[in-house]
Amino acid sequence: MPYRDTSQECTGCLNCVAICPGLATTLVDYRKNKDLPTVTLPYELWRESVEVGQPVPVTDKDGAILGHFPVQKIRVKKKYPKTLLVQIQMNKKFAKKAVGIRVLEPQIEPSTIYEKEPLPDEAVICRCERVTAGEIRTALRNGVRDMNHLKAITRSGMGSCGSKTCRPMIWRIFQEEGIDPGQVTDRVDRPLFVEVPLGYFAGIKEGERHE
C-alpha cells in the first residue's frame, strides 16, 4: 500500500492522484496562482472524449455541477498509464469541492431502469427456496397479510440468506396487489445471518478430526 510521507512537504508529483483505484484523490495546487489554483482530477473511462481546451462540467461529491471549466492539461504518469490526470484551473472557493468531471451527459433516469410491469408469475422471488411471484400472489389473494404467515406457507424468506433479497420484492407485490402497507405485518428476522457449522460452535477447529 502506498502511503504519504508526512515528514516531507508535498511536491505535487500527482502519484497519489494516479494510484487511488477508487479515483478518490484530487490535488489542489496553489503554488502558481493562489486565487486560481490548479486542480488535478483522475479520470479513466472514455479517455478519448477528454481534450485539452474543451470545457468540462466539474462535479462535487454529490454529483452536482460546480461549473464548466476548460481542460488546461492532460497528464499521464508512466507508472499508472491507465489514469488520466485532468488539470483545470478553478476559483479557490470551489477548488476543494471538485471531485470529478462529467464527460457523458446523463442518459438514464432511475425510473426507466426499474420494471414498470408487474413481475411475471413465473419469476422467482425467493431465490433460496425458489418461490415464484405467482405463488406469493396466490397467497396474498387468499387473504395473507402477514409476511410470517406467507413465509410459513410458501417458504419464501426461509432460506440461508434470511430474506435479504426477497423481502423488498414481496413488499412490491403487496403494493402491486393494491394492499395497504399499513395492513401488512413485516417478517421477524432472526440470527444467524450466515450459516456456520455446528462443529465451530462446539469448539472444533478447522481440519481437526473429532472421533
Residues in contact with other proteins by the rule CB under 8 A? 144-146, 148-149, 151-153, 160, 162, 185, 190-192, 195-204, 210-211
The span from the CA of 169 to the CA of 163, in Å, is 10
Spatial distance between the Cα atoms of 41 and 23, rounded to a whole number of angstroms: 8
Question: Alpha carbon of 75 to those of 25, 41, 66, 81, 87: distances in Å?
Answer: 15, 10, 22, 10, 8
Q: How far is the CB of 196 from other proteins (least distance, A)?
A: 6
Which one, 62 or 195, has the nearer CB to other proteins? Answer: 195
In the complex, the smallest distance separating the C-beta of residue 172 from other proteins, rounded to whole angstroms, is 20
Q: Closest approach of Cβ 201 to other proteins, in Å?
A: 4
Which grid coordinates belong to 191? 440470527
- Give min distance, CB of 125 to other proteins, in A: 19
Q: Using the minimum distance from each CB to other proteins, give the nearer residue, 175 or 185.
A: 185
Nearest residue (CB) to other proteins, 37 versus 162: 162
Residue matched to cell numbers 427456496:
129
- CB-wise, 73 or 141, nearer to other proteins? 141
Angle between helices 133-141 and 147-154 (to 10 degrees): 120
CB of 194 to other proteins, least distance (A): 9
Residue with cell 397479510: 145
For residue 28, give the C-alpha cell.
489542489
